[in-house]
Amino acid sequence: MLSPPSYATLAAAALIAYFLGGLPFGYWFVRMSSGRDIRKIGSGNIGATNVHRTLGRKAGVIVLLLDVLKGFAAVWIGALISHGDPIALGAAALAVMAGHCYPILLRFRGGKAVACYIGAFLYLAPLSLAVAAVVFIGVVALTKYISLASIAGALVLPFAMWFLSRPPMPILWASIAAALLIVHRHKGNIARIVAGNERVFSFKGGGAP
Give 19-44 pLDDT, tens digit per residue: 999 999 999 999 998 889 888 887 77
Confidence of residue 207 (pLDDT cuts 50, 70, 90): very low
Q: Is residue 202 part of a domain?
A: no
Of 113, 108, 123, nearest in space to 13 by CA: 123
201 has pLDDT over 80:
no
For 36-62, what is the mean pLDDT?
A: 87
Distance CA 128, CA 132 (A): 6
What is the structure's pLDDT at 206?
Answer: 44
Residues whose CB falls within 8 Å of the CB of residue 206, separated by 6 or more in sequence, listed in order: 53, 54, 55, 56, 57
Model confidence, pTM: 0.90
What is the structure's pLDDT at 176?
Answer: 98
Confidence of residue 208 (pLDDT cuts 50, 70, 90): very low
Domain residue limits at 180: 4-195
| HEC-encoded secondary structure of the chain | CCCHHHHHHHHHHHHHHHHHHCCCHHHHHHHHHHCCCHHHCCCCCCCHHHHHHHHCHHHHHHHHHHHHHHHHHHHHHHHHHHCCCHHHHHHHHHHHHHHHHCCHHHCCCCCCCHHHHHHHHHHHCHHHHHHHHHHHHHHHHHHCCHHHHHHHHHHHHHHHHHHHCCCCHHHHHHHHHHHHHHHHHCHHHHHHHHHCCCCCCCCCCCCCC
Q: How many domains does the chain have?
A: 1
Q: Is residue 208 part of a domain?
A: no
Q: Is residue 206 part of a domain?
A: no
> Using one digit for the tens of pLDDT, what is the confidence trace for 146-182?
999 999 999 999 999 999 999 999 999 999 999 999 9
Q: Which residue type occupies 15? A: L
Structural contact between residues 127 and 188, judged by C-beta atoms closer than 8 angstroms = no
Q: Is residue 120 part of a domain?
A: yes
